[in-house]
Amino acid sequence: MAAGLLISSAMVPLAVATVQGGSPGLTVTPAVVDMGALYGGANLKVEGTVAPGAQVLVVVRGPEAAEAFNKKGRLGPIWVNVGHVSISGVPSLFQRYSSGPVKDMLTRESLSQDQLDDAAIKAQMAVEPKAMDQETIRDNYLSLKSQQGFYKEVEGAVKLGTPGPGGVPFVLDLPWSRKAPPAIYDVTAYECRDGLVASKTTARLEVRETGLPEKIAALAKNRVYLYGMLCVLIAMAAGFGIDFIMARFGKRNLAGH
């Protein structure tokens, strides 16, 4: 029986996803992260219930988009860029949190089927040009994303609670990286049983620019000549202004001596 996954929200409108097996839905608290002028990341909470005996995986995925890279290679004793690579077909962000060791929760086939680990992501990754060393590039892509904190796997982060009439509650405290760009992310909870995914529920997490940052980004994108001139004028005004202030301040100091 597929147990229901319930994730509640107190502050923002619920993000509800369709769930098979009569599951009531899935939400993230908060479901919308506003990137204002003083944004510094967010603390998210994912909550729900599963049937007794089940384990839980929570996966956050960023949107898929082709990314362009330079590839380094050896030219004699030195490393230089030797070509360009385009990578697509993989999430821009992949963070997996589990209630226990994943190798004990899911079979290799299940991991591959739902693309739940690095090996599955590597398998779906499209690398151009195909003449490049595919395996090396795939490994280096994962390594680069891990270094940036966009790809990570944390075991034991999902906490299972005391079984109740509605099932076993679980909770994940999810520190949302301030480096993650604005986008719509999928948060999926997987109920795992007997090495298989018994059910899964997906909610939407929206990370968006608001306030002054949103206005500046729109100006930079839509009114480029005005924005360019403003940048130059603001920079010049700031430079001359600071010099004017410093000159006056310096004179007062000299007078004081």
Partner 1 sequence: MTIFLPVAGVSIDLFLIVGVGALVGFLSGLFGVGGGFLLTPILMMVGIPPTVAAASDSCQIVGASASGASAHFRLGNVDLKLGSILLVGGLVGAAIGVQIIKVLRSLGNADFVIVVTYIVVLGSIGSYMFVESLQSLRRGTMTGKHHSSAKKGSLLAKLPLQMSFPRSGVQHSVLVPFLLCTLVGILAAIMGVGGGFIMVPMMVYLLRMPMHVAVGTDLFQILFTCAGVTFMQAVTNHTVDIVLAILLMVGSTIGAQIGARAGKRLRGDQLKILLASIVLLVMVKMAVGLVLTPSSLLSYAKGH
Residues contributing to the site for partner 1 (CB under 8 A):
35-41, 67-73, 75, 77-81, 83-85, 136-137, 140-141, 143-144, 147, 178-179, 181-182, 209, 212-214, 216-217, 220-221, 224-225, 227-232, 234-236, 238-240, 242-244, 246-247, 250
Instruction: Please state the closest distance from residue 25 (CB atom) to partner 1, in A.
Output: 30
Between 156 and 229, CB nearer to partner 1: 229
Instruction: Please state the closest distance from residue 216 (CB atom) to partner 1, in A.
Output: 4
> If DSSP states are collapsed to H, E and C, what string results for 161-212?
CCCECCEEEEEEEEEECCCCCCEEEEEEEEEEECEEEEEEEEEEEEEEECHH
Between 140 and 202, CB nearer to partner 1: 140
Q: How far apart are CA 160 and CA 170, in angstroms?
A: 4
Between 2 and 32, CB nearer to partner 1: 32
**Measured on CA atoms in the order 48, 197, 25, 182, is the torsion positive or negative?**
positive
Instruction: Please state the closest distance from residue 173 (CB atom) to partner 1, in A.
Output: 19
Spell out the long-range contacts of 6-11 with Cβ–Cβ below 8 A and sequence spacing 24 or more: 6/47, 6/48, 6/49, 6/166, 7/46, 7/47, 7/48, 7/189, 7/201, 7/203, 8/47
Instruction: Please state the closest distance from residue 172 (CB atom) to partner 1, in A.
Output: 22
Between 113 and 244, CB nearer to partner 1: 244
Between 159 and 248, CB nearer to partner 1: 248
Q: How far apart are CA 194 and CA 198, in angstroms?
A: 9
Instruction: Please state the closest distance from residue 63 (CB atom) to partner 1, in A.
Output: 14
Between 114 and 214, CB nearer to partner 1: 214
